[in-house]
């Protein structure tokens, strides 16, 4: 699977995208060698899936960009002040997540183009303690201070030490692994024919916390440097590259790890 991650909008035409716009875009992507789309980071329109069926494009259908906690795009970490602009689907998740997920699946599951269900995108950011477990964040009062080597460096710790750091870290009201298991169960209740996945931004922590175990496949987001570590210590967990900038290094990871990396999605919003 050689894909791109796309948002649900059509640029200048907004979110109500005419079918012809999607068809033109998908034809251009196919001509460039794309055979798969990741619906980043919410369900798309019926017209989009109809076109993917007709054109033979594989789809990873993603449900959520936020779960228990806000994604916090304006860096209002730890809810330091009231800022409604940092709030998104998190305001509705506890009440509506099950209903929204099930209605999405009941609408979309008969589309042959859909080959994977993704329960969430880069959710680890919202459980702030996850980043400190990595060792690349050292100031508990400032989640923005990160060692600049984080993006290209392999994990600092062994799985055993990482697990201990996770178990010793302060937790909030919600545990990500538990929420993911609940979502995965809702998916499996309606469809056991397709694997589940999630897009992991801190996979080294997700592997030891139980989050990665909650889904069938794990997708890495800009964390190709973790792939050798992940396959050394978790060789039975298949990895896909769910989001990346599309550099030569990204393709090398696919070539160098054919036993685990089966699909790659370029960040093509």
Catalytic residues: 122, 243
Residue 240 burial (C-beta neighbours within 10 Å; 0-12, 13-18, 19+): buried
SS3 156: coil
Residue 185 tokens, joined = 């169960």
Residue whose token pair is 């889904």? 215
Alpha-carbon separation of residue 140 from 7, 108, 169, 187 (angstroms): 33, 42, 11, 35
Whole-angstrom Cα distance, residue 41 to residue 43? 7
Residue 177 CA, chain-centre distance (Å), reads: 14
Whole-angstrom Cα distance, residue 215 to residue 206? 11
Q: With contact defined as beta carbons under 8 Å apart, do 115 and 39 qualify?
A: no
Helices (H), the chain: 19-31, 46-55, 90-108, 129-133, 159-168, 176-190, 203-209, 227-233, 248-256
Residue 219 CA, chain-centre distance (Å), reads: 6
Neighbours of 103 (CB within 10 A): 12
């Amino acid at each position: 699977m050689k894909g791109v991650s796309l948002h649900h909008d059509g640029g200048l035409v907004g979110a109500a995208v005419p079918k012809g716009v999607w068809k033109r875009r998908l034809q251009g992507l196919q001509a460039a060698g794309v055979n798969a789309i990741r619906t980043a980071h919410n369900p798309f329109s019926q017209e989009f899936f109809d076109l993917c069926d007709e054109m033979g494009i594989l789809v990873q259908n993603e449900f959520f960009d936020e779960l228990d906690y806000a994604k916090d795009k304006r860096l209002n970490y730890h809810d330091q002040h009231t800022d409604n602009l940092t709030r998104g689907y998190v305001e509705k998740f506890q009440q509506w997540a099950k209903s929204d997920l099930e209605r999405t699946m009941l609408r979309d599951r008969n589309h042959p183009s859909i080959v994977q269900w993704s329960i969430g995108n880069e959710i680890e950011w919202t459980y702030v303690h996850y980043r400190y477990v990595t060792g690349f964040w050292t100031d508990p009062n400032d989640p923005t201070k990160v060692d600049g080597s984080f993006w290209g460096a392999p994990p600092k710790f062994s799985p055993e030490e990482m697990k201990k750091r996770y178990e010793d870290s302060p937790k909030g009201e919600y545990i990500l692994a538990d929420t993911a298991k609940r979502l995965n169960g809702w998916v499996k209740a309606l469809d056991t024919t397709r694997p589940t996945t999630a897009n992991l931004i801190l996979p080294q922590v997700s592997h030891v916390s139980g989050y990665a175990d909650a889904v069938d496949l794990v997708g890495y987001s800009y964390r190709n440097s973790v792939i050798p570590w992940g396959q050394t210590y978790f060789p039975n967990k298949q990895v896909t590259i769910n989001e990346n900038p599309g550099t030569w290094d990204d393709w090398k990871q696919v070539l160098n790890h054919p036993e685990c990396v089966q699909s790659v999605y370029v960040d093509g919003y």
